[in-house]
C-alpha cells in the first residue's frame, strides 16, 4: 500500500525466493498483477505469487523477499510503502518426522479384555526403535501401577510390543509412556500423559452357578432383577420390577407399549448360570399372568451355551404351553430339566412385541420362579391367605411340602391312604411367606396318598405318589 500523497518519486517492487541457510542468489517470480508500483497515489492492492514447483519438497530453509527492482525514480519525496496480510498457502501433505501413533492393542476403551493378556502393542506410521524412559500401566481400580522400561520393549518395524504386563480380572487400566520411549530417525514420538488416551478394562468373570433356584423377586430394584438379568435385543422397553407380586409386593414384568401405542421390542429375561447336577430330576416352575389384550410372543427356553448375548446362544424350547396364561396368577409346573443338568445352563424368558402391521404389546408378569428335585404334586390348593403343594414324589418316606402363608399360622397336617386310613397326623407352625416343610412318614407301600392341610380358616387336599 502507498501511504503518502506528497511523494514525487516511485518504486517498482518484485517478489523473489532463495534457498539455503544464507542464500547468495534470489530468483524473481512473476506476480499477479505483473507490476507492483508504489508512488504518490494513496491506494492499496492485492498481489498473488505462484511459486509453481520451485519450492516443493525442499529439505533446506526457503526465503521469500519483497524488494524494489530499481532505484527510486523521479524527484521529490520517496514513496511510503506498507505490507500487510501476508498469507502463504500450499497443497500436498506435510512431512512430519515425528512418529505418529496409528493404533493401540488393545484399542482404547476396550471392555472385557482377557485377564491373561501379557503383551500390549503400539503401532506407529514409521519404522521405530526403542528409546529411553518408561511405560506405566495404571490399575485405576486399585490405585496401583506397573512400570516397564522402554528398553524392555520388542520392536519390529512399526510395531512396539510391551511385554510382561500383569492384568487381573474386573479392573480398569490406563497406559502412559514417555515421549522418549520410541524414536524414528532421531525424532521422538509424542508421549501419552493422561488416563484417557489409552484405557481399557478386563473381563468380569461370571458368577459361580447357582445350585438352587427359588426367586420371589423380593427387593427387586431395576436393573437388579433378583437372580435374573434383562437383555434388550430391540426396542427401548425392558423387563423391570413390578409392585404387584403374587403373594407379596414384588415381581417382574415386560410391556412393549403404552396405553395408546405399541413398539417393536425383543427382550430376554435370563437366569444366572444354574448347576442342578446334584438333583436327580430337576423340574422348573413359575407363576405368570398377563394384562391387556394381545398375542405377543412369550416363550421359555433353556441354553447350555449362553455367554451374555442371547443372539449367539443355542436356545431349546422347554415346551411350556402359555396359552393358559390369564389375567390372574397362573402356575406353570413341571418342565423337566433332566436333559440339561449335566452341564451348566440358563433359563430364558423371551418377549417380542410389534408395532406393525398390527400393534401387539400385552404385558407379561412373572413371579415365584423355582426348581425342585422331582415334580410338584398333582395339584396346588389355594386356601384363605395360603396355598400349598407337594415337592416331588415321596422317597425314603420323606414328604416335602411348600406352604405359602400370608401370615404366621398353625395348620393340622394329615396323610391318608386312598381308603381313608390315617397314616400320619401332626400340627405344623409356619411363618409368613414360603415355608418348606419336610414330614418323615412311616414306611409306606408304593401308591397314591392324600395329604390335607387345614386350620380354622380353610382346608386343602392334594395327592402325592410314594415310589
* C-alpha Rg value of the chain to the nearest Å: 41
Per the model's pLDDT, the better-predicted residue between 367 and 205 turns out to be 367
Residue 133 shares a structural domain with residue 233: no
Beta bridge partners of 91: none
pLDDT the model gives residue 393: 67
Would 209 be classed as within a structural domain? no
Over residues 360-365, mean pLDDT? 89
Over residues 4-21, mean pLDDT? 82
* Structural domain boundaries enclosing 263: 214-373
| Strands 134-139 and 144-149, bridge-based pairing | antiparallel
Would 445 be classed as within a structural domain? yes
Cell of 149: 522400561
- What is the C-alpha to C-alpha distance for residues 163 and 416, in angstroms, rounded to an integer? 74
Residue 187 shares a structural domain with residue 274: no
pLDDT the model gives residue 352: 92
Would 193 be classed as within a structural domain? yes
> Any idea which of 178-192, 211-225, 326-340, 453-467 has the lowest mean pLDDT?
453-467
Give the end of a domain, one of 155, 170, 202.
Answer: 202
The contacts of residue 427 (CB under 8 Å, 6+ apart) are 410, 411, 412, 413
Confidence of residue 419 (pLDDT cuts 50, 70, 90): low
Per the model's pLDDT, the better-predicted residue between 21 and 331 turns out to be 21
Cell of 279: 438333583
Residue 47 shares a structural domain with residue 116: no
The secondary structure of 406-428 as a DSSP string is SS-EEEEEEEEETT--EEEEEEE
Taking 60 as the threshold, does the pLDDT of residue 378 lie above it?
no
Would 26 be classed as within a structural domain? yes
pLDDT the model gives residue 364: 93
The number of distinct structural domains making up the chain is 4
Would 361 be classed as within a structural domain? yes
Confidence of residue 3 (pLDDT cuts 50, 70, 90): confident
Chain centroid to CA 382? 43
Looking at residue 413, which CATH number applies to its domain? 2.60.40.2550
Residue 331 shares a structural domain with residue 313: yes
Q: Report the SS3 class of residue 150.
A: helix
Over residues 187-192, mean pLDDT? 93
pTM: 0.49
Residue 182 shares a structural domain with residue 238: no
Confidence of residue 384 (pLDDT cuts 50, 70, 90): low
pLDDT digits (tens, 9 = 90+) for 269-308: 999 999 999 999 999 999 999 888 777 788 999 999 998 8
Would 135 be classed as within a structural domain? yes
Q: Report the SS3 class of residue 151.
A: helix
Confidence of residue 418 (pLDDT cuts 50, 70, 90): low
Would 462 be classed as within a structural domain? yes
Looking at residue 193, which CATH number applies to its domain? 2.60.40.1220
Q: Are 340 and 284 in contact (CB under 8 A)?
A: no
Over residues 175-204, mean pLDDT? 94
Amino acid at each position: 500500500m502507498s501511504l503518502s500523497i506528497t511523494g514525487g518519486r516511485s518504486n517498482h517492487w518484485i517478489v523473489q525466493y532463495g534457498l539455503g541457510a544464507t542464500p547468495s542468489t534470489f530468483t524473481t517470480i512473476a506476480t499477479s498483477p505483473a507490476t507492483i508500483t508504489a508512488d504518490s497515489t494513496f491506494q492499496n492492492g492485492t498481489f498473488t505469487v505462484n511459486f509453481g514447483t520451485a519450492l516443493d519438497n525442499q529439505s533446506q530453509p526457503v526465503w521469500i523477499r519483497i524488494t524494489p527492482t530499481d532505484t527510486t525514480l523521479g524527484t521529490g519525496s520517496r514513496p511510503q510503502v506498507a505490507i500487510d496480510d501476508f498469507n502463504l498457502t500450499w497443497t500436498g501433505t506435510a512431512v512430519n518426522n515425528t512418529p505418529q501413533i496409528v493404533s493401540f492393542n488393545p484399542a482404547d476403551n476396550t471392555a472385557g479384555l482377557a485377564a491373561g493378556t501379557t503383551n500390549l502393542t503400539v503401532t506407529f506410521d514409521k519404522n521405530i526403535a526403542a528409546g529411553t524412559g518408561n511405560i506405566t500401566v495404571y490399575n485405576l481400580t486399585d490405585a496401583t501401577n506397573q512400570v516397564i522400561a522402554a528398553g524392555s520393549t520388542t520392536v519390529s518395524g512399526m510395531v512396539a510390543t510391551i511385554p510382561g504386563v500383569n492384568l487381573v480380572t474386573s479392573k480398569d487400566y490406563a497406559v502412559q509412556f514417555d515421549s522418549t520411549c520410541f524414536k524414528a530417525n532421531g525424532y521422538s514420538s509424542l508421549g501419552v500423559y493422561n488416563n484417557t488416551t489409552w484405557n481399557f478394562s478386563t473381563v468380569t468373570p461370571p458368577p459361580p452357578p447357582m445350585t438352587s433356584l427359588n426367586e420371589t423377586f423380593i427387593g427387586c430394584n431395576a436393573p437388579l432383577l433378583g437372580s435374573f438379568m434383562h437383555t434388550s435385543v430391540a426396542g427401548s422397553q425392558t423387563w423391570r420390577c413390578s409392585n404387584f407380586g403374587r403373594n407379596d409386593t414384588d415381581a417382574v414384568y415386560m410391556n412393549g407399549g403404552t396405553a395408546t401405542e405399541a413398539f417393536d421390542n425383543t427382550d430376554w429375561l435370563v437366569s444366572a448360570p444354574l448347576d442342578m447336577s446334584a438333583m436327580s430330576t430337576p423340574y422348573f416352575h413359575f407363576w405368570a399372568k398377563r394384562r391387556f389384550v394381545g398375542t405377543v410372543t412369550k416363550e421359555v427356553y433353556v441354553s447350555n451355551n449362553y455367554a451374555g448375548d442371547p443372539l449367539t446362544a443355542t436356545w431349546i424350547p422347554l415346551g411350556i404351553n402359555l396359552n393358559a396364561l390369564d389375567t390372574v396368577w397362573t402356575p406353570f409346573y413341571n418342565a423337566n430339566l433332566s436333559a440339561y443338568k449335566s452341564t451348566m445352563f440358563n433359563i430364558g424368558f423371551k418377549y417380542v412385541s410389534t408395532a406393525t402391521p398390527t400393534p401387539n404389546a400385552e404385558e407379561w408378569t412373572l413371579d415365584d420362579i423355582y426348581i425342585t428335585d422331582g415334580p410338584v404334586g398333582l395339584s396346588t390348593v389355594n386356601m384363605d391367605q395360603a396355598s400349598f403343594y407337594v415337592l416331588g414324589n415321596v422317597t425314603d418316606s420323606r414328604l416335602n411340602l411348600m406352604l405359602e402363608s400370608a401370615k404366621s399360622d398353625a395348620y393340622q397336617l394329615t396323610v391318608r391312604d386312598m381308603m381313608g386310613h390315617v397314616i400320619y397326623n401332626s400340627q405344623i407352625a409356619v411363618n409368613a411367606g414360603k415355608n418348606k416343610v419336610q414330614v418323615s412318614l412311616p414306611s409306606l407301600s408304593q401308591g397314591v396318598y392324600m395329604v390335607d392341610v387345614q386350620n380354622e380358616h380353610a382346608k386343602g387336599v392334594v395327592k402325592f405318589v410314594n415310589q
